[in-house]
Structure 1
Amino acid sequence: MVFVALDLLPGNAAQVMLGETATPQAVQALERRLGLDRPPLERYLGWLQGLLRGELGVAVSYEAPVAELLRERMAVTLPLAALAMAATTLLALGLGVYAASRHGRLGDVGVMAASQLGIALPSFWLAILLVLLFSVQLQWFPAGGFPGWTEDAGGGLLEGLRALLLPALALALVQAAILARITRAAVLEVLREDFVRTARSRGLSPRQVLWRHVLRNALLPVLTVMGLQFANLLTGTVVIENVFSLPGLGRLSFQAIANRDLVLLRNLVMLLAALVIAVNLLVDLAQAAVDPRLRARG
């Protein structure tokens, strides 16, 4: 599907890369170099063979191996998505449990109103507000760019995390608003179960009942949504990485589309699809670890 969708795009990729002023001879030479002069089935089979051998080709717009480009950019996107997911989980679980424990009271209404506002905010607009506040006014964090993870490149672990903090927060606040509402609903549903009344009758405090018994049973639907959200964070970094000028997979995909680099774009979409599948597999394994009923069925 990825190959067909990119192959059916209107226009000549070689003409787009070279510009309108390119001569027909130059366009034909680039078509031969990219293999665009071959039949689609032949190009498709050649691409599959390259995937099986780990040979992803050369990105025309960068004149560099695609595998090397993807490996370099993943070192930014994966930590960014992981940091955003960690912030999302902490905020959502805390706020969701807090709202459920105060169901119908002021705290519950306040959390639900704040979460509704968070859902309505576009992440890129929120990113601009964070830059204005923390970078321009307070000057606590850089407004963009990434110094690297090594001190040889002028960065380091702390500097790298500092550069990713604002982008991660811009991604996390919107996702946390969604997950907090789902956590609240799941916790409220579990609170009505019989085993909760049994735990209370044994003399356990409301806090112990909530965190030891209720939250674990409420995590099953929450974990499913967390897996989908992490996949969205991986594939949804295109806008945020462009706002903060981060050299990640999102910015790379934007540049590949702009340059009509089909070789790079095709392998980039396949990588994102593989990451989403891997995340969903991890979520299934986590659900089996949390729910003993799934292990018993196995």
Structure 2
Amino acid sequence: MLAERSARHGPGTLRRAGAKVGQYALVVWAAATLNFALPHLAPGDPVQYLYGGESLGLAPELVDEIRKGYGLDRPVLEQYGMFWAGLLRGDLGISVEYNRPVVDLLLEYLPWTVVLVGVSTVLALLLGVALGTWAAWHRGKRRDAAGVAAVLVLDSMPGFWIGMILIAVFAVTLGWFPSYGGAAIDGSGLAWLADAASRMVLPGLTLTIATFGGFFLLTRAAMVTVLDEPFVRLARAKGVPDRGIAVHHALRNALLPVSTNVTLVLGSLLSGAVVVESVFAYPGLGRLIFEAVTARDYPLLQGAFLLITLGVVAANVLADLIYPLLDPRVRRAPARPAPKAVTA
């Protein structure tokens, strides 16, 4: 019987999965195409922007050789095909500023951003869920209103401004933490790890403050809704302690939208870390993008933008996969077979 049900409803599931894969593939194709168009849409000659061209005294023959090296002397459609052929081989080109493969640079800088964004997201999630639950439990009271107002004020502050305040207070005035860089000690070991952790405190705290407001407001809104549900009132009527109601009944259901938002925040923070990493000169992907913009390093920009797009798409795929596991209500019920026609 189970086999018959799986066979009957398998094609529908495959169609839905195929539609999702098609949507994400379309997003990746569009992002990659925009990356290809980036140097072509910029005003002027790309070689002029990358190397200065004849303005730096380069001979016309050398400018032509540079243009041939990047394939800019070929038709646009042929360049587009070469671009995709390189992507399929994992070749993102050579960085103009560093004169190194773009893939190697991304692999070198990406771990710093992954650690920074991961730690900041966990801290923002814990802080937002805890304070959001507390505010919802005291909804309608002055402490709730004061908490919401304070969070809205923090959430409205731009990340670079928060970072500058933290630098002024904790790095300049108090001298507790370094204000720039990733690690001043070469090599590895406990000393290197301690130095890297101390330099991650201020940028991590900046991202945490700039991010936790969303988790707070979402948790509070979900908790307020759940606390009015009949099963919560039934648990209170049975004499369940307030802590048990808040944690085991209300919070477990309120965390469903929050868990989905976590994956989306992970994707957006990859691009949002550009400003914060630039403020602290943190050697992550955001800092690499900033330097590529100032140097007009188009191959590096293309690779970084494509990596961010893949991160956002992966976060959305993870959200689509996790949410049905957390909330069985969103799973599609198997369709029942249509009733047979009754004939006279």
TM-score (norm 2): 0.81
**Pair 1:4-2:28 in alignment:** no
Q: Distance in 2 between matches of 1:196 and 1:254?
A: 50
Task: Indicate the residue corresponding to 2:314 in structure 1.
Answer: 278
Q: Specify which of 187, 212, 225 is matched with residue 261 of structure 2.
A: 225
Closer, same or farther: CA 142–203 of 1 in aligned 2, 3 Å: same
Distance 2:187 2:71 in 1: 41
Correspondence 1:137 to 2:137:
no
Q: 1:21 aligns with which of 25, 44, 56?
A: 56
- CA–CA distance in 2 between the matches of 1:213 and 1:288? 19
Matches within 5 A, 1:169-184: 169-184=205-220
Question: Percent same amino acid among aligned pairs?
Answer: 38
In structure 2, do the counterparts of structure 1 residues 206 and 153 end up closer, same or farther at CA, with 3 Å as the change threshold? closer
| Gap regions ≥5 residues in structure 1 | none
In the TM superposition, structure 1's runs of 4+ consecutive aligned residues that sit over 4 Å from their partners are 295-298
Q: Which moved more, 1:110-119 or 1:38-47?
A: 38-47
Could you tell me how far apart the structure 1 residues matched to 2:57 and 2:189 are?
A: 38
Is 172-181 or 188-197 further displaced after alignment?
172-181
Name the TM-score, length of structure 1 as normaliser. 0.93
Deviations 1:125-151 (A, max 9, x none): 110110111111121111100117974
CA distance in 2, matches of 1:152, 1:47: 38
Amino acid at match of 1:289: L
Q: Which of 34, 41, 46 pairs up with 2:82?
A: 46
Whole-angstrom distance in 2 between the partners of 1:158 and 1:282: 32
C-alpha contact (below 8 Å) 2:264/2:319 kept by paired residues: no
Cα RMSD of the aligned pairs, angstroms, is 2.1
Where do residues 125-274 of structure 1 align in structure 2 (5 Å cutoff)? 125-147=161-183, 151-152=187-188, 156-274=192-310
Task: Answer with 228-237 or 243-252: which moved more.
Answer: 228-237
Per-residue displacement from partner, 1:77-133 (whole Å, max 9, x unpaired)? Answer: 111110110111011101110100000112201210111111221110110110111
Residue by residue over 1:5-56, the C-alpha shift from the partner in whole angstroms, topping out at 9 and shown as x without a partner, is: 4421212221122233243444323222222222221122112112212222
Report the CA distance between 1:209 and its aligned residue: 1.0
Supply the distance in 2 between the matched residues of 1:154 and 1:25 (Cα, whole angstroms): 53
Asked if structure 2 preserves the Cα contact closer than 8 Å seen for 1:148 and 1:154, the reply is no
Deviation at 1:157, TM superposition (A): 2.7
CA distance in structure 1 between the partners assigned to 2:71 and 2:189 by the alignment: 37
Contact 2:38 2:298 in 1 (8 A): no
Local SS of the residue matching 1:273: helix
Between 1:183-192 and 1:16-25, the stretch displaced more is: 16-25
Distance 1:155 1:242 in 2: 25
How many residues align structurally? 298
Gaps of 5+ in 2: 1-32, 335-344
Q: Is the 8 A contact 1:231 1:276 kept in 2?
A: yes
| Aligned mates of 2:45, 2:284 — CA distance in 1 | 27
Displacement after TM superposition at 1:292 (Å): 2.8
CA distance in 2: counterparts of 1:132 and 1:260, whole angstroms: 31
SS where residue 142 of structure 1 aligns? coil
2-structure distance, mates of 1:40, 1:202: 72
> What amino acid is aligned across from residue 78 of structure 1 in structure 2?
V
SS in 2 for 1:55: coil
Partner of 2:125: 89
Residue type of the alignment partner of 1:69: L
Relative distance call for 1:282 and 1:159 in structure 2 (3 A) is: farther
